[in-house]
Amino acid sequence: MYSLKKIPDASQWQTIAWGTLLIVLISGIVSWPVARLLGLRARVMLPAMMFSNSGNLGLPLAALAFGEQRLPLSVVAFVVTMSLHFSVGIWLVSGRFHPFELLRNPVFLAALAGVIAYAFDWHTPSLLLPGLAMLSEVAIPLMLVSLGIRLIYLDLRHWKSGMVGALLCPLSGLIGAWVAITWLQPSEQMRDILLLVSILPPAVMNYLLAESYRQSPDEVAAMVAFGNLASLLVIPIALAFIL
């Protein structure tokens, strides 16, 4: 159950990492002129369009759609997205960036520890693996519960921003995925993961960061809420083409 076969080959995880990076950055590039055209602030709109729900929604959805064997590839996409969110994302929202802020973020520290362990071929003692597996299986439902809790704070005054975000998020993501797939020429399995990553709705963390840095959290909450509601239609349509 806990064999090293679950760890993706270097060529696989590097392709997913580069592809996810392209999807995130190109989503921001595509969204920026739209924000300017509609008179929306880039600090408010761009992070919600760039950083998707690759954890709470992406991981269980990948396991359901593609099976457990492709879940590690989705974890790579999640790690890249979260690392960018707590570096580039914080810079976008706050207008400044301090490297030491990364050292206070548990997701970034966990990702860094994983990269170091992979580079030096360190392995977790088998005695600890069952407990860690149980914790990981509990974490995904807890993330889904946290998403539901945040959605109750939706402010319908910002429904226009929410609708724009719901449409632009998957559209900009698909443009990013098209560029990534065209450039990287991934295998069919990796292509499917990148396509799934590209159509995911905005992450709840966008609302938390907007609230922390006082960047229109109610407006961001509307984008997150409407984006996740729209995903009830977008994701089944996308999976019908992918599968």
Q: What confidence tens digit (pLDDT) does each residue in 61-84 have?
A: 998 889 888 888 998 999 899 889
Q: Is residue 3 part of a domain?
A: no
Place of tokens 């450039």: 183
Q: Is residue 49 part of a domain?
A: yes
Q: Is residue 114 part of a domain?
A: yes
pLDDT attached to residue 2: 41
| Average confidence (pLDDT) over 92-115 | 77
Tally the domains of the chain. Answer: 1
Range of the domain at 135: 8-121+130-242
pLDDT attached to residue 5: 47
Residue 101 has pLDDT above 80, yes or no: no
CA atoms within 13 A on the CB side of 163: 6
Q: Is residue 99 part of a domain?
A: yes
Q: Is residue 223 part of a domain?
A: yes
| pTM, to two decimals | 0.84
Among 143, 242, 125, CA closest to 194:
242
Angle subtended by helix axes 42-50 and 217-242, to nearest 10? 30
Q: Is residue 2 part of a domain?
A: no
Q: Is residue 56 part of a domain?
A: yes
Q: What confidence tens digit (pLDDT) does each residue in 123-179 have?
A: 878 888 888 778 877 776 776 676 667 666 666 778 888 899 999 999 999 999 999
How far is it, in rounded angstroms, from Cα 164 to Cα 128? 46
How far is it, in rounded angstroms, from Cα 19 to Cα 178? 10
- How many angstroms separate the most distant Cα atoms in the chain? 56
Residue 116 has pLDDT above 90, yes or no: no
| Pairwise pLDDT comparison (216 vs 146), residue with the higher score | 216
